[in-house]
């Protein structure tokens, strides 16, 4: 069984980092201190027990010296007449022996039984000593006193044997306690070594767990910040397990959301600005048509050609009514066709026999919405830069059809066409890599409006050959009910 995963479970996966560090520190402290304190308590207890054995052995050995040497010697001096019985220290010696024995018995020594017997023997010894005193007071002879002294020495010798046995017992008990203390020391050392190893493993596991708890969320936040820098503002970072990093994570998520909102708002503003610019550009393109048409009306009126004046005036009215269309940018293909026919009616009257046209629009597409003024400028370009510059009559074909889910618009003419250099310049202008030219002003406007309103990279496609004519086309989504645009 691996220890690291086990230790990792001791560290919470969620919560404040300070709490995890505190828990890890407390765990290490408990692992180090509790066993050490238990070991110290055991060693202290056995040490006290060991020294209590030695202390009792020392006290008993001191009593042995009293009863074997001091007390007989003192009584011999009294019997020999060197001092009077009342002047002897035998009473205090015996009292010391009995008091010490009482203390040792009260301590609950391991030799309690032996010491209890010795205590009774000391009472016998006391009786003999008191008998010696009474005998000497009664005027006993030295021989009688010596006989009794010999009895006292025999009792003292017996008591001394008891004390020696008690000392031996205490020493053996002390040795056993010492052996237990030694084993405890060895076990404690071994346990502490094992504990240090376990603590090191725990520290290693805790370090990895805490490092992972901090490093992984930081790496995720770093990666998330990189995604924000790359413009991936829809990304969001999950809440990290570290409480201290949650505020930062929430701030980054909020910042990404606000940046996305600001960028979207800026995009809409730029789009609206671009539309406004294109409307201004469109307004700059159409006035000359109005001027030319009014000139044609004046000319027809002066020539008394009333029917043609009425026809061209109505066509001009329809043209601008649909061009304005209450400010709407989207109209149906039916309206766009009406707009084209009004425009071509005016141009037909102006250019008479040099202009002819064909309009082919799939009837099923009449209700499809299309960007207003997206076809008429192409027709206008075909007239002014194609048909008008061609000798003889010219033909403009307008075709609108659906193919592969796209609405395809194609305006072709058999006019003057363009050479390869001029065609390259026009294509470069539409791609935004070339300068604007007067001849491409209207085409540029339509190209930009298609890209902007349909949100697609492809606008107009231009094909042309000098002396053969030009074909201008574009494709946009073909949806019903005005859903073909963004």
CB 192 within 8 A of CB 219: no
CATH of 286-477, one of 3.30.70.20, 3.30.365.10, 3.50.50.60, 3.30.565.10: 3.30.565.10
| CA dist., res. 282 & res. 444, Å (int) | 10
pLDDT in tens, 286-339: 566 676 777 777 777 877 778 878 877 877 777 777 666 555 778 889 988 988
**b/e per residue, 201-240, with b = 16+ CB within 10 A?**
ebeebbeebbeebbeebeeebeebeebbeeeebebebeeb
CA angle 173, 176, 179 (to 5 degrees): 150
Q: How far is CA 225 from CA 77, 133, 265, in A?
A: 107, 109, 22
**What three-state secondary structure class fits 160?**
helix
Least confident window among 82-91, 149-158, 376-385, 430-439: 430-439
What stretch of H or E contains 360?
strand 355-361
Burial tier of 261 (Cβ tally within 10 Å: 0-12, 13-18, 19+): exposed
Task: Using CA atoms of 99, 100, 103, 108 in order, give the dihedral in degrees to the nearest 10.
Answer: -140
CB 115 within 8 A of CB 56: no
Q: Is the pLDDT of residue 486 over 50?
A: no
| CA dist., res. 332 & res. 338, Å (int) | 10
Residue 341's φ and ψ, nearest 5 degrees, are -65, -40
pLDDT in tens, 142-185: 888 889 889 989 988 898 888 888 888 878 877 887 787 788 77
When comparing pLDDT for 174 and 411, which is higher? 411
Q: Band of the pLDDT at 88, cuts 50, 70, 90? A: confident
| CA dist., res. 146 & res. 139, Å (int) | 13
Give the global pTM. 0.47
Token pair recorded at residue 306: 């009333």
Q: What per-residue confidence (pLDDT) applies to 303? A: 76
CB 383 within 8 A of CB 422: no
Task: Tell me the pairing of strands 394-403 and 406-413.
Answer: antiparallel
Least confident window among 78-82, 122-126, 197-201, 316-320: 316-320
Beta bridge partners of 474: 409
Q: What per-residue confidence (pLDDT) applies to 246? A: 65
| CA dist., res. 71 & res. 65, Å (int) | 9
Domain positions in the chain are 3-219, 286-477
pLDDT in tens, 41-72: 777 776 777 777 778 788 888 888 888 888 88
pLDDT in tens, 326-371: 557 788 899 889 888 888 888 888 777 788 899 999 989 988 989 8
DSSP state of 242: B
Residue 110's φ and ψ, nearest 5 degrees, are -65, -20
* CB count in 10 Å sphere of residue 95: 11
Q: Is the pLDDT of residue 2 over 50?
A: no
First-to-last CA distance in the chain?
62
The position carrying tokens 């980092």 is 17
Q: What per-residue confidence (pLDDT) applies to 4? A: 47
Average pLDDT over residues 381-404: 86
| CA dist., res. 312 & res. 130, Å (int) | 166
């Amino acid at each position: 069984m691996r220890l690291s995963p086990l230790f990792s479970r001791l560290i919470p996966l969620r919560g404040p980092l300070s709490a995890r560090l505190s828990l890890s520190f407390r765990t290490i402290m408990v692992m180090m201190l509790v066993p050490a304190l238990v070991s110290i308590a055991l060693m202290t207890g056995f040490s006290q027990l060991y020294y209590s054995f030695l202390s009792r052995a020392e006290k008993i050995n001191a009593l042995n010296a009293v009863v074997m040497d001091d007390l007989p010697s003192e009584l011999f001096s009294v019997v020999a007449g060197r001092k009077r019985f009342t002047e002897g220290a035998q009473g205090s010696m015996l009292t010391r022996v009995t008091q010490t024995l009482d203390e040792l018995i009260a301590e609950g020594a391991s030799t309690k039984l032996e010491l209890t017997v010795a205590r009774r023997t000391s009472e016998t010894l006391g009786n003999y000593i008191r008998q010696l005193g009474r005998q000497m007071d009664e005027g006993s002879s030295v021989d009688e006193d010596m006989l009794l002294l010999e009895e006292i020495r025999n009792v003292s010798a017996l008591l001394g044997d008891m004390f020696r046995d008690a000392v031996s017992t205490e020493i053996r008990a002390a040795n056993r306690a010492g052996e237990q203390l030694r084993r405890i020391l060895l076990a404690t050392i071994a346990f502490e070594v094992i504990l240090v190893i376990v603590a090191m493993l725990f520290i290693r596991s805790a370090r990895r767990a805490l490092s992972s708890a901090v490093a992984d969320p930081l790496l995720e936040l770093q990666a998330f910040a990189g995604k924000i820098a790359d413009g991936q503002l829809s990304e969001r970072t999950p809440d990290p397990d570290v409480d201290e990093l949650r505020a930062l994570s929430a701030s980054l998520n909020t910042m990404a959301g606000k940046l996305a909102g600001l960028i979207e708002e800026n995009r809409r503003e730029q789009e609206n600005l671009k539309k406004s610019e294109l409307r201004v550009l469109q307004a700059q393109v159409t006035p000359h048509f109005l001027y030319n048409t009014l000139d044609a009306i004046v000319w027809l009126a002066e020539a008394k050609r009333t029917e043609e004046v009425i026809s061209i005036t109505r066509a001009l009215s329809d043209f601008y009514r649909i061009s304005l269309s209450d400010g709407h940018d989207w109209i149906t293909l039916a309206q766009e066709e009406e707009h084209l026919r009004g425009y071509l009616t005016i141009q037909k009257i102006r250019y008479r026999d040099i202009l002819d046209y064909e309009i082919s629009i799939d009837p099923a597409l009449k209700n499809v919405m299309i960007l207003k003024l997206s076809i008429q400028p192409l027709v206008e370009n075909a007239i002014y830069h194609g048909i008008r510059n061609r000798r003889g009559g010219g033909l403009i074909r307008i075709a609108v059809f659906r193919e592969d889910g796209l609405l395809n618009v194609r305006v072709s003419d058999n006019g003057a066409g363009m050479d390869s250099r001029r065609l390259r310049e026009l294509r470069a202008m539409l791609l935004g890599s070339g300068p604007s030219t007067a001849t491409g002003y209207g085409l540029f406007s339509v190209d930009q409006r298609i890209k902007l309103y349909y949100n697609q990279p492809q606008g107009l496609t231009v094909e042309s050959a000098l002396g053969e004519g030009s074909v201008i086309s574009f494709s946009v989504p073909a949806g019903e009910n005005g859903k073909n645009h963004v």
